[in-house]
């Protein structure tokens, strides 16, 4: 069985550079996790630290990644894109990143070992 990795990420600053309130970040993460669970039967939230260039200035900020493995995403891409656009507006972002990547290798769900 082949899987794809689905990721959505956003920074914790508004487009004007001001930090987002932590409650707003937590609410966005919760909403994204709910959408990923509905679309892909599960997901995870990871917090990271990222950087990017804006007008030749380095910007470093905390960011959130919502991640899922899915067997297929063809029927869910439009819903994911719509949610991502709404999330970008809610967080006053220039954009949020969505990546859908085919997985190479072995992916498996390992149950507990029975003694």
Residue ranges of domains in the chain, CATH in brackets: 4-102 (3.30.70)
Question: Between 96 and 52, whose confidence is greater?
Answer: 96
64: number of Cβ within 10 Å = 22
24-65 residue pLDDT tens? 999 999 999 999 999 999 999 999 999 988 889 888 999 999
Q: Which residues contact 100 (CB under 8 A, 6 or more apart)?
A: 4, 5, 6, 7, 73, 77
59-84 residue pLDDT tens? 899 999 999 999 888 889 999 999 99
pTM of the complete model: 0.88
Q: What b/e sequence results for 44-53 when a residue is b if at least 16 CB atoms lie within 10 Å of its CB, and e otherwise? A: eeeeeebeee
């Amino acid at each position: 069985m082949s899987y794809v990795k689905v990721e959505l990420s956003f920074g914790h600053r508004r487009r004007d550079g001001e930090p987002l309130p932590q409650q707003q970040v937590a609410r966005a993460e919760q909403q994204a996790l709910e959408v990923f669970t509905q679309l892909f039967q599960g997901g995870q939230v990871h917090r990271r630290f990222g950087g990017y260039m804006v007008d030749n200035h380095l910007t470093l900020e905390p960011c959130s990644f919502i991640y899922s493995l899915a067997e297929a995403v063809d029927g869910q891409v439009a819903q994911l894109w719509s949610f991502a656009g709404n999330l970008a507006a809610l967080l006053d972002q220039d954009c949020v990143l969505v990546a859908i990547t085919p997985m190479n290798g072995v992916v498996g769900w390992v149950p507990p070992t029975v003694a």
